[in-house]
Amino acid sequence: MNNLIMIFISMALVNNFVLARFLGLCPFFGVSKKLSSAFSMGIAVTLVMLIASIVTWVINNYILIPYGVEYMNIIMYILVIAALVQIIELFIKRTNLTLYNALGIFLPLITTNCAVLGITLINAKESFTLVESIVASLGGGLGFMLVLVIMSGIREKLNLADTPRAMKGLPIAMLVGMMLGLTFFGFGGIV
C-alpha cells in the first residue's frame, strides 16, 4: 500500500509528466487557454492513459517478454494505443454524443500524445505489476490534469492582466510555465 501511494505521488507531483518529464507539452500550451477545455482534455488523457497502461501491461507480460522481443515495445505500444483510441472514440461517438462533443478534437489528438506513450514505456521500464501500472497511470493522468487546470486558470486571469504588448499570448504563457515548473521542483524532496 505504501508503495502504491509512493508511486501515485511520484507520478502526479514529483515526476510530473509536463513539468518534470516534459512530456505532453503540446496540450500544455495548446489546450490551456480555457479552463473547461483543459479539464476535458485532462479527463480524456487520464482515461486513455489508464486503459492504455492496462492493455500494454498485458501485451508486455504475455507477448513481448515471453518471446524476448521487449525492444519492440515502442512500435507495439503506438499501434495498440492508436487502435484503442479509435475504438474508444467510436464507442463514445455512438453512445454519448454530449461527451463526444465535450472531448471533441482532443480524443484523436491523444492518439499521438507522448504522455500516453510515455506512461506505458515507464511502466515497462520500471517493470510495474498490473496494480502498480494502474496507479501510476492514474497518478500521471491526474498530475497532467492538475497542471493543465492550474495553467489554464492562470492564463484566463492573464487575459485580464496588463501584459506588455510584446509579451501577450504565448510568450507570457511560456514564462508562467517556467514558474510553474520551478514550483513543482519543490516537490523534489518528497520521494
Instruction: Write out the residues near other proteins by the rule CB under 8 A.
Output: 59, 63-64, 67, 69, 72, 75-76, 79-80, 83, 86-87, 90-91, 93-95, 97, 101, 104-105
Q: Which of 77/184 has CB closer to other proteins?
A: 77
Least spacing, CB of residue 167 vs other proteins, in Å:
14
Whole-number Å distance between alpha carbons of 52 and 56: 6
Element (H, E) at 145: helix 130-160
| Residue 170: CB minimum distance to other proteins, A | 14
* Minimum gap (Å) between residue 73 Cβ and other proteins: 11
**Is 75 or 161 the residue whose CB approaches other proteins more closely?**
75
Total Cβ atoms within 10 A of residue 32: 25
Identity of the residue, 91 or 185, whose beta carbon is nearer to other proteins in the bound complex: 91
Q: Write the CA distances from 64 to 57, 91, 138, integer angstroms.
A: 10, 28, 24
Q: According to DSSP H, which parts of 31-113 are helical? A: 35-59, 73-95, 97-103, 106-110
